[in-house]
Amino acid sequence: MEEDFSKYIDKPIFRTVSEVCNENGLSAFVIGGYVRDLILKRPSKDIDIVVLGSGLDLAEKVAKRLDIDKVQYFKNFGTAMFVHEGDDIEFVGARKESYSRDTRKPIVENGSLEDDQNRRDFTINALALSLNKSSFGYLVDPFDGLEDMENKIIRTPLEPDKTYSDDPLRMLRAIRFSSQLGFRIEAESLAAIERNADRLEIISAERIIDEVNKIVLSPKPSVGFKKLYDTKLLHQFFPEMVALQGIETKNGKSHKDNFYHTLEVLDNISKETDDLWLRWAAIMHDIAKPRTKRFHDKQGWTFHGHEDLGAKMIPKIFKKLKLPLDAKMKYVQKLVRLHLRPISLVKGNVTDSAIRRLLFEAGEDLEDLMTLCNADITSKNEYKVEKYKRNFKLVEKKLKQIEEKDRVRNFQPPISGELIMSTFNMGPCYEVGVIKTAIKDAILDGHIENDYDQAYQFMLEKAKEIGVSKK
Ligand code: CTP
C-alpha cells in the first residue's frame, strides 16, 4: 500500500462497496482505466471493480443495498454490471490469464490482485485503489504506473513481447493512448510493437477501427498515425494510406510526400473540428493520388482526377475498415469529390454559374468543405499561405453573395418529376430525367430564374426539342 487517494474516490458507490465488503469479509479494488483517468483528471463513466472472490456475488449484494434491480450478469465471463448515478459499474473477480498464440481469448483462472494487475496492458492501466475499510483509497501500484503517468510514458507491466503477443490489440491501444494523452511509448515497447505488427491479423476489423477512430479523434492525430506507420501496423489494415508516402523526383522535379501532407491536413482540421467524419474526409482527400500520379515533361507531376477517383475508392475502403456505409460515407465522398472546387473558384474570371453549381452540389456541407480546403493549405511559404487564405476569403464572400441572391444551396427545382409525367401523360422514363436535369441546369447556369412560370415554359420547350409532346 503506497499512497492515500481517498479524496479522489468520493462517489457514494465506493463507500457502499467498501461497507458490503467489510460485512462479508471480502476485499475489493477499483482498477484500470477509471483510476488512470481519475489521476489525469479526465472524465470517465466506466468504473471497474475487482474483487478477490466472485464478481457476480459482490455485484448482487451491492445492488441489493442500493435497491438496484437491473443487474446484468455475464456468467461466462464472471462479470456483472449495473448503472448507478449515470456510471457503468462493472464487477469482476481477480483473475489470472494465460494465452495461446492464435486467439485473443485467454484461459482464465481465479487469481490474486497481483495476478490481475500482471495481466493488464500498461502500467498506467494497472493501478488499483483499495476499497477495503482499513486501507480505503490506498494505491496499489506494483509497476510504478504513477511515476510513468508523471513522466508521460506508456510501458507494459511485463516483458512487452509477451503483453503484445498475448493480445495484439494492445499494440493499437499503446499508440491510441500515446495520441490521446500525449504520452511517449517506451523504446522497448515500440520495438516490440514493430516486431509483432503482423500479429494484428488475429484482431477483428471492428476492434481495429474502434482504436483507429480514437486516434482520429485525439487532439493531434498525426502523433498516432506516424507511429502506426513507423511500426508498420498501418500497413496491416490501411495500405491505401501507406501508399501516399514517398517523394519521387524526375528531371529535377519532385512532388510532395502526400502521407505527411495528409497528416498535416488532419492536424489542421482537428484544430477546427471534433467531427469524426470531417476528420475522415481529411484523411481521404488525396487517397487516389498514388493511382493518378503522372509525370509530364512540361508540367511535372500531376494527379488529375484524384478527387473523383478518391470518392470512388471510398466505399471499398470504408467496407474493409468496417466504417459505416451510410450517409456518413456519402458525406466523406462528397467532400473528397469537391475538395478542389473552391480553389478553382479563386481565379478572377469565375462565373456566377460555377459558384451556383458549387453551392448546389455542396448544399448544407459547404462550410465543412471550406474548413477542409483551408486545412489543405500546408505550404511552408508563409507568403503563399497568406495569399491562399486571402483568396479563400474572397471565394467565401462570392459564395455568400450569390447564395443570398439566388438561394440555390438547398434548392429544389420548381418543377418535379411528377409534374413532368402528368403534363406529358407518361410514366417514369429516360425523357423525364433529361427534362428534369435540363431545368436544373438552366437555373444553375442562370438561363432562367428559379421560378415556377419560367421553369414551366422551359419544360415545354425542352420537351418539344427532344420530341416529347402532350398526348
Ligand atoms: N485491458 C487490457 N488489455 C486490453 C484491454 C483492456 O489489459 N486489450 C485492461 C486495462 O487495465 C484497462 C481495463 O482493462 O484499463 C479496461 O479496459 P477498457 O475499458 O477497454 O479501456 P480503458 O483503459 O478504460 O480505456 P478507454 O475507456 O479509453 O477505452
**Widest CA span in the chain:** 93
Q: In this predicted structure, which of 97-111, 114-128, 219-233, 438-452 has the lowest mean pLDDT? A: 97-111
| CA 106, chain centre distance (Å) | 29
> Is the confidence at residue 445, as pLDDT, over 80?
yes
Atom of ligand 1 nearest to the CA of 121: 7
Q: At what angle do helices 382-406 and 366-375 cross, to 10 degrees?
A: 170
Q: Best of 49, 120, 206, 212 to mutate for ligand 1, by most ligand atoms within 8 A of CB?
A: 120
Supply the mean pLDDT for the chain: 93
- Report whether residue 221 contacts ligand 1, using a CB cutoff of 6 Å: no
Which whole number is the average pLDDT over 329-338? 98
For residues 126 and 110, what is the distance between their CA atoms, to the nearest angstrom?
A: 17
Atom of ligand 1 nearest to the CA of 170: 8
Q: Which of 124, 125, 127 is nearest to 149 (CA)?
A: 124
Percentage of the chain beyond pLDDT 90 is: 78
Q: Is the dihedral of CA 399, 400, 403, 408 positive or negative?
A: positive
* Pairwise pLDDT comparison (217 vs 448), residue with the higher score: 217
The predicted structure's pLDDT at residue 240: 98
Which protein residue's CA is at the shortest distance from atom 20 of ligand 1? 33
The one-letter amino acid at 140:
V
Cell of 31: 482498477
Asked whether 279 and 262 are in contact (CB, 8 A), the reply is no
User: What's the pTM value of the predicted model, to 2 decimals?
Assistant: 0.90
Q: What is the CATH number of domain 152-237?
A: 1.10.110.30
- Report whether residue 365 contacts ligand 1, using a CB cutoff of 6 Å: no
Q: What's the CA-to-centroid distance between 126 and ligand 1, angstroms?
A: 9
Q: What's the CA-to-centroid distance between 1 and ligand 1, angstroms?
A: 23
The predicted structure's pLDDT at residue 471: 64
pLDDT tens, residue by residue, 149-158: 999 999 999 9
Asked whether 49 and 15 are in contact (CB, 8 A), the reply is no
> Is the confidence at residue 100, as pLDDT, over 80?
no
The predicted structure's pLDDT at residue 1: 39
Contacts 24+ apart (CB under 8 A), 364-367: 364/409, 364/410, 365/331, 365/334, 365/335, 366/399, 366/409
Residue-level length of the chain:
471
Tell me if 12-148 shares its fold with 152-237.
no
pLDDT tens, residue by residue, 163-207: 998 899 999 999 999 999 999 999 999 999 999 999 999 999 999
Percentage of the chain beyond pLDDT 70 is: 99
3-state secondary structure the chain: CCCECCCCCCCHHHHHHHHHHHHHCCCEEEECHHHHHHHCCCCCCEEEEEECCCHHHHHHHHHHHCCCCCCEEECCCCEEEEEECCEEEEEEECEEEECCCCCCCCEEEECCHHHHHHCCCCHHHCCEEECCHHHCCEEECCCCHHHHHHCCEECCCCCHHHHHHHCCHHHHHHHHHHHHHCCEECHHHHHHHHHHHHHHHHCCHHHHHHHHHHHHCCCCHHHHHHHHHHCCHHHHHCHHHHCCCCCCEECCEECCCHHHHHHHHHHHHHHHCCCHHHHHHHHHCCCCHHHHCEEECCCEEECCCHHHHHHHHHHHHHHHHCCCCCHHHHHHHHHHHHCCHHHHCCCCCCCHHHHHHHHHHHHHHHHHHHHHHHHCCCCCCHHHHHHHHHHHHHHHHHHHHHHHHHCCCCCCCCCCHHHHHHHCCCCCCHHHHHHHHHHHHHHHCCCCCCCHHHHHHHHHHHHHHCCCCCC
Which whole number is the average pLDDT over 136-149? 95
Which protein residue's CA is at the shortest distance from atom 27 of ligand 1? 33
The predicted structure's pLDDT at residue 425: 92
Q: Best of 125, 158, 167, 214 to mutate for ligand 1, by most ligand atoms within 8 A of CB?
A: 125
Atom of ligand 1 nearest to the CA of 126: 11
* Pairwise pLDDT comparison (20 vs 391), residue with the higher score: 20
Which whole number is the average pLDDT over 86-100? 89
pLDDT tens, residue by residue, 276-302: 999 999 999 999 999 999 999 988 999
Q: What is the dihedral of CA 197, 200, 206, 208, to 10 degrees?
A: -20
Q: In this predicted structure, which of 168-172, 251-255, 325-329, 349-353 has the lowest mean pLDDT? A: 349-353
Atom of ligand 1 nearest to the CA of 214: 28
Q: Which of 258, 245, 323, 314 is nearest to 286 (CA)?
A: 258
- Report whether residue 285 contacts ligand 1, using a CB cutoff of 6 Å: no
| In the chain, where the domains are located | 12-148, 152-237, 417-465
Q: At what angle do helices 452-465 and 430-444 cross, to 10 degrees?
A: 130
Whether CATH 3.30.70.1230 fits 12-148: no
